[in-house]
Amino acid sequence: MTSYVIEADGGSRGNPGPAGYGAVVKDAADGQVLVETAESIGTQTNNVAEYRGLIAGLTSLLALAGDGAQVEVRMDSKLVIEQMAGRWKIKNEGLRPLALEAAALARRLRVTWRWIPREKNKDADRLANEAMDAAAKGRPWRLSDSSASSGSSGAGAPGSRSAVGEAPGGRGVSGAGGPGGRASAPEASGGRISGTRDRPAQAPETSARAGRTGEPAEGTAQATPTIAPSGSSTGWRPPTSTATSLYLLRHGETPLSIERRFSGLGDPELTPNGVAQAEAAAVKLAGKPYDIQVIVSSPLKRARATAEIVAARTGLEVVVEEGLREADFGAWEGYTFTEIQRRWPDELAAWLADPSAAPPGGESFGVAARRVQAIGDLLIERYEGRTVLAVSHVTPIKMLLQSALLAPLGALYRMHLDLSALSLIEYYADGPAVVKTFNDTSHLH
């Protein structure tokens, strides 16, 4: 499993004075820079800037690799490292909100904390100074300001670049603007933080959280609200007709999702844990208030097996629908985001920036979106007024949600879907579609 290094720093010219931060995410194996981010933050103290750098680094890694990623955080601030490791108390109340925010992000990862001398934190220190220099000239930090600038722009924190982006999937993806960004792998979710260009927060079926549109690589499941029963009023006024309720269930864990690898049309089986996740979802869906009447599934084994487990609990048959399959990631199938970035850097940059661009031998998100819209329309028409469970993958589920919200395709990179997560869209004959629940994993806890 890929492990990472975050190097973060912040500084203030006056303490307090004009301040800025910088953060770098690297591959722990070879030191390759995956994300750079920097920002000026007005008049602040050194410690505030250092915490802001830490938060930016953690945010960028979550966008890149999703929850559960293994990382060593390195800073030359003894104060921040010792406080985050729990060895020193936080005596400055002004730092407490920042420390709590950083701790909340760190809990989503597997973090070790390491103090390093300033001379070994040169990359982050350089970025912080570049941000402050840019602010002194009256403009924000840009990737072009970086003396180490290379690669495509990605999404990390406010100004950032990354060598790889997340596929809309899930973590992770792991962006908001276009589908550009980097991903851990398809069925990873995508999402980028604001930057020169958006990037995904989940990788395509890599393993969880993100997040661009592939299936997100899964790490730990997020706490999410429990699903509301279908048929109840949502929004400013009550429904004027009976809803067609479409529950969307992502399949359980596979060997590829554990390692955050792109998983499109490849056909891995569920792991024992994936079977247990599907069983937990089945127990939930077999009871009230769900009243599932129809089960449809992607033809791929991981989704089909999940659907069959639910069907065994509910006494229903599974109808296989080709349109619910995951996007085709072509030559990238089975690779991690970092591996793809190294072997196909230009193709990856194009794919992350443009939904009409496809992986070598694969399917673009634009093409996939048309396929998913077609199957969504068919299901709504065929099963009007009924409650349907569709078992699918990160990309199709995100696309159905994005369409229901009337959001642009770039919204895929702002969503994260966990393994075995449940979402709900209700469609009304008089027009509106309402997203009632998103990424509910309460059955897994």
Please list the active-site residues.
251, 326
Q: Which residues in 173-196 are b (16+ Cβ under 10 Å) and which e? A: bbbbbbbbbbbbbbbbbbbbbbbb
Strand, coil or helix: 388: strand
Examine residue 289 and say whether the peptide bond preceding it is cis (omega within 30 degrees of 0).
Answer: yes
Cα distance between residue 142 and residue 38, in whole Å: 8
Positions of E strands within 102-211:
110-115, 159-162
User: Could you write out the three-class secondary structure of 233-288?
Assistant: CCCCCCCCCCCEEEEEEECCCCHHHHCCECCCCCCCCCCHHHHHHHHHHHHHHCCC
Would you say 346 and 357 are in contact if contact means Cβ atoms under 8 Å apart?
A: no
Rounded-to-integer distance, Cα 123 and Cα 35, Å: 11
**What span, in angstroms and rounded, lies between the C-alpha atoms of 167 and 173?**
6
Contact between residue 149 and residue 160 where contact means Cβ atoms under 8 Å apart: no
Return d(Cα 120, Cα 22) in angstroms, integer: 14
Task: Decide: residue 287, CB within 10 A, 0-12 exposed, 13-18 middle, 19+ buried.
Answer: exposed
Residues in the chain: 445
Q: Which amino acid is at 321?
A: E
